[in-house]
Amino acid sequence: MRRFRESLTTRGAAFLASGIVLVLSGLALGQHDLSRIGTALCALPLLAGMLGRRHDLALVVEREAHPSRVTIDEPAVVGVTISNPSSSRSPVLLAEEHLDYSLGDRPRFVVPGLPSGGVTHVEYAVRAHARGAHRLGPLGVRVQDPFGLTLRHTSISSHDELLVLPRVVTLSDGRALGRGLGAEGSVPHRVALHGEDDQSIREYRDGDDLRRIHWPATARTGELMVRQEDRPAKRRAVVLLDTRARAHGGTGPAGSLEWAVTMAASAVNHLLDSGFAVHLLTPDPGQESGVREDGDLDAALETLARTTPSDETGVGSMLHAASGATAQGGLVVAIMGALDDDSARALSSLRQPGGPGLAFVVDGSTFARGEQARGGDLEPRATTAALSGAGWAALPVTPDLAVADAWAAVAGSRRMVGAR
């Protein structure tokens, strides 16, 4: 009975109320015709409700966002295709698309009655104000009977997603990072680069391309000599992102996790542009090792777009995985929250002698804005001091520190020039 009352429109409720009044008045006055009219008025909403529920909706909804990956505040257009595979005509529907709140208002539109096999297409625009994998759908519909007395609410269960990538900030080159080619310090770690080749000369071997014969060297040695193109090398950079809920404060775009994600995305983009072979490490309970590793920009940005706060176990697994990635040297960039002593020592040890280490230690309590701090007894400044004492260029992060300014302060510090 409650569901029936909720399904009545204003017109349907008026019909029902009028019918009840007429029935009671007819009984009181002995006017049976009046009672019969009242009964008919009461029956109309009941019959209309039964008519609206006579057929189940068998519509199929498909969506496609253009583009399917956007950055924050970039618009996208979502196309919704609705088809009727059933053998009967579908009713006229009032539709409302369910969206994440950060995508804006929910679009509403009318879906016309579709014959068997009929298709209709609608489009609506969205603009995301927060990164993440935002759900599109399901499509909520309201079915109104032909008399406008009842309204049936249901949804067509299908959905898609719009991936909103984090912001990427342009970073300065820094005093000592330079380009990512060549050796670094005393322990170089180099990765083959598919770029410009360096040439050397060697003896001809069966199968060598004759176009590579080096005639001056052949004339000088009396033997066929060919050019061998040796690829230069990329220095390795490992970027670590601490996603522990305990390490961060605040919510939404103003939260410390968003600052950390923006720094990680910007650092990966900048280091790749500078010629480094970059490895982004983030906690991921879905992986067997508990850690996700991404080496190209598209994969890294998708991972960062989907990043959410993690539990305490993630940072230990990430530091363990990073120890193998940094064993032969390379640049280490750590965006971390406050750490306990053991974790701080493990992070400190990742920087090899002669290799630079950059640390951005987020003070989550300063981002909380009146919320209760989740860091407990862990002190970001103690973590910063421990890393600085181990030869890192470390900086505490507060909400008033812009990502580009933080990078410039750390990457351009004197400690970065002569890392030992």
Q: 405: pLDDT confidence band, cut at 50, 70 and 90? A: very high
- Going by C-alpha positions, the residue among 74, 22, 63, 84 that lies closest to residue 305 is 74
Q: What is the reported pTM?
A: 0.78
Asked whether the CA dihedral 150, 151, 153, 158 is positive or negative, the reply is positive
Give the strand pairing for 233-241 and 69-71: unpaired
| Most confident by average pLDDT, 128-142, 148-162, 181-195 | 128-142
Report the 10 Å Cβ neighbour count for 398. Answer: 15
Residues 171, 172, 177, 182: what is their CA dihedral angle, to the nearest 10 degrees? 80
Peptide bond into 138 cis (omega under 30): yes
**Token pair belonging to 148:** 């406008």
Neighbouring residues of 188: CB distance < 8 A, sequence distance ≥ 6:
182, 233, 235, 328, 329
46-55, 99-108, 354-363: segment of lowest average pLDDT:
46-55
- Give the closest residue to 7 by CA, choosing from 37, 39, 38, 51: 51
Of residues 91 and 83, the one with the higher pLDDT is: 83
Structural tokens at position 216: 């001056």
Most confident of 120-124, 211-215, 245-249: 120-124
Residue-level pLDDT at 267: 98
Q: Find, among 112, 59, 110, 111, the residue nearest to 86 by Cα.
A: 59
- What is the C-alpha to C-alpha distance for residues 295 and 313, in angstroms, rounded to an integer? 23
Distance CA 153, CA 107 (A): 16
Residue with tokens 């199968």: 207
Residue-range domains of the chain with CATH: 2-52 (no CATH), 60-165 (2.60.40.10), 196-230 (no CATH), 235-417 (3.40.50.410)
Please give the pLDDT value at position 227: 80
pLDDT tens digits for range 100-152: 888 989 999 999 999 999 999 999 999 999 999 999 999 999 888 778 888 88
